[in-house]
Amino acid sequence: MSVRLRQLGVLPFGGWPATAVAIIGVCIYLFPIYWMLISGLKDSAEIFANPPTFVPRAPSLAAFEYVFVRENVLRYLRNSLTIAIPVTLLTLVLGSMGAYAMSRLRNRLVDVAIVVVLLLQVFPEALLATPMFIIFRSIDLLNTFAAVILATTSKTLAFALVILRPMFRQVPFELEEASFVDGCTRLQTFRLVVLPLMKVPLIVVGTLCFVQAYGQFVYGLTLLSQQELQPATVGIYSFVGAEYADWHRVMAFSSIFVLPILVIFLAMQRRIVSGLTAGALK
């Protein structure tokens, strides 16, 4: 890790100082996850102990058992995945096609469209929730996964267009011309020539969009009033009341909730890092 950071110019020195700085940085980054896990093993009294305990005095799985048996955490996770997977697929399909088209059009209107898309990202989801509610109520899509999927895709699609467009512009046009000479159509060229070269950027964008959709809260709370349809983020929110919060159960629920994200990033960390640093090193 220290060698990688030194290559990127983050650490100007090598040897044990670089290793120590890297280890300290990783510990600081992972400490909130550690604190979340051990808080789920504490009881409600130890959560507020002063000074705080960094190792549970009497570890207990009672909070985890509660969220599995009483709160049906698996249903919440299934709902979150039911939203996140279609959002990711829709974003990759529409985003790759749109970004490819925008990268090949030499028109000022395309640049204006990109600026408009960036400006629209300034608006928070809480501000867009009310018009989204009105739109989906008028077409009878409230309390359906389709409403949350479409609303979330409208956010992630803009992100995909902005990120993928410059990536598509790096694909040499000569490769496409050669495919045209061989008799390929524009769609065949896009599918057989361009997309294989965009594998890593698409994986990065897909992963980030999945994380954003998996953690969707505002649209899930606004557009889904039926508890059996709500995602895990709304389920965690139900533990927090006006005067009291079951923080040890919140932490247990959150630990289970973040597990799929941790697994995805651990499994795909090399591809994600290589995609994020693409073009940074010569």
Q: For the chain, which residues make up each domain, given as ranges? A: 1-60, 66-276
Q: How far is CA 172 from CA 76, 107, 188, 251, in A?
A: 45, 19, 16, 49
Q: Chunked in runs of 10, what are the mean pLDDT values of the chain (282 residues)? A: 50 67 87 89 85 87 88 90 95 92 82 80 84 92 93 90 88 85 86 88 89 92 90 85 72 89 78 57 40
pLDDT at 277: 54
Q: Locate all alpha helices (DSSP H) within the chain, ordered by sequence.
A: 2-7, 15-40, 44-47, 62-69, 73-104, 108-120, 125-138, 145-169, 173-181, 186-189, 195-197, 199-214, 218-223, 232-237, 247-276
- The C-alpha atoms of residue 240 and residue 247 are separated, in whole angstroms, by 8
Structurally, what CATH architecture does the domain formed by 66-276 represent?
Orthogonal Bundle (1.10)
Q: Strand, coil or helix: what is 238?
A: coil
Query: Residue 122: which residues within 8 A CB-CB, separation 6 or more?
Result: none
pLDDT at 242: 52
pLDDT at 224: 92
Using the CB atoms, write b or e for 14-34: b if 16+ within 10 Å: eeeebeebbeeeeeeeeeeee
Please measure the distance between the N-terminal and C-terminal CA atoms of the chain and give it in whole angstroms: 19
pLDDT at 79: 94
pLDDT at 280: 43
Query: Residue 232: which residues within 8 A CB-CB, separation 6 or more?
Result: 73, 76, 77, 79, 80, 253, 257
Query: Structure pTM?
Result: 0.82
